C-alpha cells in the first residue's frame, strides 16, 4: 500500500515537472485534472496548441491528443440467433463480470434484480459509488461515474444512475435477468433477457450523454484493476484515428494485456466504406444486423388511398382525419422559409401546424419529427429512401414513406382545398430478408491496418427491446411524456452487448482462454451472411452473425497474445522507444524485420492489393486444438471468382492432444481486377467446422 502511494506521488511529480518545462512562465498554472495510475500512465491537462507541440516532443511521451467527445453508438434477438432461454449453463457463470462503459444504469429495473445471486467472487476488487438514490446489489456489483472536467449541467445526475437509457439498454442486453411480459406499450412482447443472466455487471458512467476521452480512459483504468472479465463499449468517435490517439483502442490494449476482452460497436456511419470508429486488432468490432421483425405504419389520406411507411408509432389516432399541410406552406419566416419544407428546427410556424399533420421533404426524419412535435403538430409524414431498414421512435404520430408514396401524398395535398389524413398505430410484421446488415452500420475496410479485416462480427442491432431509464422519454425528445421500463431502439450500440454477452458465455466455460481465443471462437463459428443482400460483403458483416452455442466448442482457435500485437505495432512503424512508452515494460521491436500485419494470427484474412496488378501473397496461421484430443482436420477453400486462387499448405492437420498447435500457410493469387473478391477457408474434422472469411480487395 505504501509503495503504491509513493509511486503515485512520484508519477504526479513527474507530470508536474513536465508541465513546468512546456508552460510559459508567465502563463497561469496548469492544474492536472486527472491522472491514470492503475493500469497505464498518463494525465489530463488544459494546454495551448503551442504547449501541446512542446510536450509531444518530450522524451517518454507516446501521444498527445485532444479530449474528444465520443457518441453513444431483447425479447426476440437471442431466440433469433439460435440462443434460447434453456441452454447449457456453466457452473461458474455467476463468477463472470461484464464491465459496461456507458451512460450508467437504472438499478430498479427488473433486469437487474439479484434474486438467487450470492456475493461476487473474491476476484472482484471494485466499488459502488452509492448516493441517496443509488445502491448496488449482487447483480450490479460495482458502479462509478466520471466527469474529469468537473463541469456538471443542472440535469446531470451526480451518481452512476442513468438518465439517458442507453447504458441500461446495453447492460440488460448483455446480462439482464429474464423479465416476462416485457414490451414497449405492447410492441416486442415477450421475455426480455441477457445472454448470461447469472453474470454480474459493473457500471462505469462516462457519457452525459456525450463521452469524453479523459473519462473513458479513467473508466478503463479502473475496470482493469477492479477485475472485470469482459468490457462492453458501445461508444465511438472519429474514424481512422491512430490506435494510440484513440482512448478506446488504448484502453482495450491495456485490458488485453490483463486478459480482458473488449467488445466495441463498429459505428453508425454506414453504408459508406471505411467509416468504422472502432477497429483495433486487439478488440472485437461489431456491426449491426436485422432480425425477423420490423414495424410498418399505415397512412390513410382523405381520398381513401392508403400508404405504408416505417416507424414505431405507439399512438392511436383512432382513424380520425386531421388537416394535412405541407411544411413549405407553414414556414416561420423568421426561421427561414426555404428550410420549412424539410421541417427543420424552428422553421415551422406553430400557428399554421397546430392540430395538423405535416408533410415534410427530405430524409431527416428524426429532426422533422422533433421539430413538428415542438411546433404543436398532431402528426408528421416524412419521406425518402435512406433509412428504410430501421427507423426512430417519433415523439408524435408519424410514418416515414418511400419517395414514390411521398410524392403521391404531395399530389393529393395540392388537389383539394381541404386535404386530410390519419396515421395508424404501427404493426409488427415479419422481416423475411433477415439477417442482413443494416444500412447505418459502419463498413470496413480498416484504413489503418488494411490487412486486418474489420468489422469482425455482426449481431442483432435493429429494433432491440431492452430495459430503459424511467426518467428518459423513449423518443429522446424533451416533452414526450412516455417514460417506460423498456424501449425498442437500433444501433451498433445494441449489437455490441449481444457479442459481449456471447463472449461472457464462452468465457464461463473456458475461464482461462485469452481474449484472442474467445474472439476466434466467436468468429470461426459465426453464421456467414449473403453478399447478394449486402454488396459490401465481409466489409459489412466480417465473419458473420454470432452463434454463442457453437462458439463454446469451436474445435480450433487462432490464439494471439500481447507479443503478437506488439509485433503488429512494430510492423506498423512503431519504434522500440515508442513501444515501451505504450507498454510500460521492456518490449522491443527487432532491428530488422520484414513483418507485416499479415503475420498477426487473426481468425480472418484480408489482403489489400493494387489495381491492375496481379497479386501473390502468403499468410501464416497457427491453430490450437481445443476440440477432440485426437483429430484430423482437412482444409476446404471456397472462392467467389475464378480470378482468385488459394492454396493451403499443408491441407491436412493432425492432432494427438488438446492444446497442441499446428501451423499452415495460405497462398493467395489474384488475377482479375474486381474491387472485392470473397472466399473462405474451413477446417473440418467431421465434427467441428472452423471457418475463416477471406477478402481480397483494392481501393480506387
Cite the active site residues: 102, 166, 493
Please give the grid coordinates belonging to residue 540: 459489412
Contact present, 74 and 80 (Cβ < 8 Å) = no
| Residues 501/98, Cβ–Cβ less than 8 Å | yes
Q: Contact, 683 vs 653, CB < 8 A?
A: yes
Cβ-contact 257, 562 below 8 angstroms: yes
Angle of helix 247-257 relative to helix 515-524, nearest 10 degrees? 110
Contact between 450 and 695 (Cβ < 8 Å): no
102 forms bridges with which residues in the sheet?
Answer: 205
Name beta bridge partners: 187: 184
- Quote the CA–CA distance of 394 and 392 in Å, as a whole number: 6
Cα 87–chain centre separation: 25
Contacts 24+ apart (CB under 8 A), 615-620: 615/668, 615/669, 615/670, 615/696, 616/667, 616/668, 616/669, 617/667, 617/668, 618/665, 618/666, 618/667, 618/668, 619/665, 619/666, 619/668, 620/663, 620/664, 620/665, 620/666
3-state secondary structure 331-381: ECHHHCHHHHHHCCCCCECHHHHCCCEEECCCCCHHHHHHHHHHCCCCEEE
Note whether 647 and 667 are within 8 A (CB).
yes
From CA 142, how far away is CA 129, in angstroms rounded? 8
Dihedrals φ, ψ of 147, to 5°?
Answer: -150, 80
Distance of alpha carbon 328 from alpha carbon 213, whole angstroms: 41
Closest Cα to residue 365, out of 346, 383, 347? 383
Joined grid coordinates for residue 14: 513527474
C-beta of residue 474 within 8 angstroms of C-beta of residue 487? yes
Cα 19 to Cα 44: distance, rounded to the nearest angstrom: 11
Closest to 252 (Cα-Cα) out of 207, 212, 214, 221: 221
Q: Give the three-class secondary structure for 436.
A: coil
The answer for residues whose C-beta is within 8 angstroms of residue 411's C-beta and 6 or more apart is: none
115 exposed, middle or buried (CB, 10 Å; 0-12, 13-18, 19+)?
exposed
CA distances from 123 to 13, 205, 514 (A): 32, 22, 17
Q: Print the SS3 string covering 68-81.
A: CEEEECCCCHHHHC
Coil, strand or helix: which one is 237? coil
Strand partners, 486: 467
Amino acid at each position: 500500500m505504501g509503495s503504491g502511494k509513493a509511486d503515485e506521488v512520484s508519477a504526479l511529480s513527474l507530470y508536474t515537472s513536465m508541465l513546468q518545462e512546456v508552460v510559459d512562465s508567465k502563463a497561469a498554472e496548469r492544474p492536472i485534472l486527472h491522472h491514470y495510475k492503475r493500469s497505464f500512465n498518463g494525465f489530463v491537462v488544459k494546454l495551448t496548441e503551442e504547449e501541446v507541440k512542446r510536450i509531444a516532443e518530450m522524451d517518454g511521451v507516446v501521444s498527445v491528443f485532444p479530449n474528444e467527445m465520443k457518441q453513444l453508438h431483447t425479447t426476440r434477438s437471442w431466440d433469433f440467433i439460435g440462443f434460447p432461454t434453456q441452454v447449457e449453463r456453466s457452473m461458474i457463470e455467476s463468477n463472470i463480470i461484464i464491465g459496461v462503459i456507458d451512460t450508467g444504469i437504472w438499478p430498479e429495473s427488473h433486469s437487474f434484480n439479484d434474486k438467487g445471486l450470492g456475493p461476487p467472487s473474491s476476484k472482484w476488487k471494485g466499488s459502488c459509488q452509492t448516493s441517496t438514490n443509488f445502491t448496488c446489489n449482487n447483480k450490479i456489483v460495482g458502479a462509478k461515474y466520471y466527469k474529469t472536467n468537473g463541469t456538471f449541467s443542472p440535469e446531470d445526475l451526480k451518481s452512476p444512475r442513468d438518465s439517458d437509457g442507453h447504458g441500461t439498454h446495453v447492460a440488460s442486453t448483455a446480462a439482464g435477468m429474464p423479465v416476462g411480459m416485457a414490451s414497449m406499450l405492447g410492441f416486442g412482447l415477450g421475455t426480455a433477457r441477457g445472454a448470461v443472466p447469472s453474470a454480474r455487471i459493473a457500471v462505469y458512467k462516462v457519457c452525459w450523454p456525450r463521452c469524453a476521452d479523459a473519462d473513458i480512459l479513467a473508466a478503463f483504468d479502473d475496470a482493469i484493476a477492479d477485475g472485470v472479465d469482459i468490457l462492453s463499449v458501445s461508444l465511438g468517435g472519429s474514424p481512422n484515428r491512430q490506435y494510440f490517439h484513440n482512448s478506446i483502442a488504448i484502453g482495450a490494449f491495456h485490458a488485453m494485456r490483463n486478459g480482458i476482452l473488449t467488445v466495441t460497436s463498429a459505428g453508425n456511419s454506414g453504408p459508406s466504406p471505411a467509416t468504422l470508429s472502432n477497429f483495433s486488432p486487439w478488440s472485437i468490432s461489431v456491426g449491426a444486423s436485422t432480425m425477423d421483425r420490423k414495424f410498418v405504419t399505415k397512412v390513410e389520406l382523405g381520398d381513401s388511398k392508403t400508404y405504408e411507411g416505417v416507424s414505431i408509432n405507439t399512438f392511436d389516432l383512432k382513424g380520425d382525419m386531421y388537416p394535412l399541410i405541407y411544411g413549405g406552406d407553414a414556414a416561420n419566416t423568421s426561421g427561414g422559409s426555404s428550410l420549412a419544407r424539410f421541417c427543420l428546427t424552428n422553421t415551422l410556424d406553430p400557428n399554421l401546424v397546430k392540430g395538423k399533420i405535416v408533410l415534410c421533404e427530405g430524409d431527416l426524419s428524426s429532426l422533422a419529427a422533433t421539430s413538428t412535435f415542438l411546433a404543436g403538430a398532431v402528426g408528421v409524414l416524412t419521406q425518402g429512401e435512406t433509412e428504410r431498414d430501421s427507423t426512430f421512435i417519433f415523439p408524435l404520430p408519424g410514418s416515414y414513406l418511400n419517395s414514390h408514396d411521398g410524392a403521391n401524398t404531395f399530389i393529393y395535398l395540392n388537389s383539394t382545398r381541404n386535404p386530410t389524413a390519419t396515421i395508424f398505430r404501427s404493426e409488427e410484421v415479419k422481416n423475411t430478408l433477415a439477417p442482413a446488415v443494416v444500412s447505418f452500420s459502419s463498413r470496413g475496410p480498416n484504413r489503418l491496418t488494411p490487412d486486418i479485416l474489420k468489422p469482425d462480427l455482426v449481431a442483432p442491432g435493429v429494433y432491440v427491446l431492452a430495459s430503459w431509464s424511467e426518467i428518459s422519454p423513449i423518443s429522446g425528445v424533451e416533452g414526450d411524456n412516455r417514460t417506460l421500463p423498456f424501449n425498442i431502439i437500433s444501433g451498433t450500440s445494441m449489437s455490441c452487448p449481444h457479442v459481449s454477452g456471447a463472449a461472457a458465455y464462452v468465457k464461463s466455460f473456458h475461464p482461462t482462454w485469452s481474449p484472442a481465443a474467445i474472439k476466434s471462437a466467436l468468429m470461426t463459428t459465426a453464421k456467414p451472411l449473403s453478399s447478394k443482400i449486402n454488396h459490401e460483403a465481409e466489409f459489412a458483416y466480417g465473419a458473420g452473425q454470432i452463434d454463442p452455442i457453437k462458439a463454446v466448442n469451436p474445435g480450433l482457435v487462432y490464439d494471439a497474445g500481447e507479443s503478437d500485437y506488439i509485433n503488429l505495432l512494430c510492423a506498423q512503424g512503431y519504434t522500440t522507444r515508442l513501444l515501451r512508452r505504450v507498454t510500460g515494460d521492456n518490449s522491443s521491436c527487432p532491428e530488422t524485420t520484414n513483418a507485416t500485419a499479415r503475420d498477426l494470427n487473426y481468425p480472418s484474412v484480408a489482403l489489400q492489393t493494387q489495381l491492375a496488378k496481379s497479386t501473390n501473397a502468403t499468410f501464416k496461421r497457427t491453430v490450437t486444438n481445443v476440440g477432440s484430443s485426437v483429430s484430423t482436420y482437412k482444409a476446404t477453400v471456397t472462392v467467389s471468382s475464378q480470378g482468385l486462387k488459394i492454396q493451403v499448405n499443408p491441407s491436412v492437420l493432425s492432432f494427438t492432444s488438446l492444446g497442441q498447435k499446428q501451423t499452415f500457410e495460405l497462398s493467395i493469387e489474384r488475377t482479375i481486377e474486381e474491387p472485392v473478391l470473397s472466399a473462405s477457408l474451413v477446417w473440418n474434422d467431421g465434427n467441428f467446422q472452423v471457418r475463416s472469411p477471406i477478402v481480397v480487395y483494392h481501393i480506387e
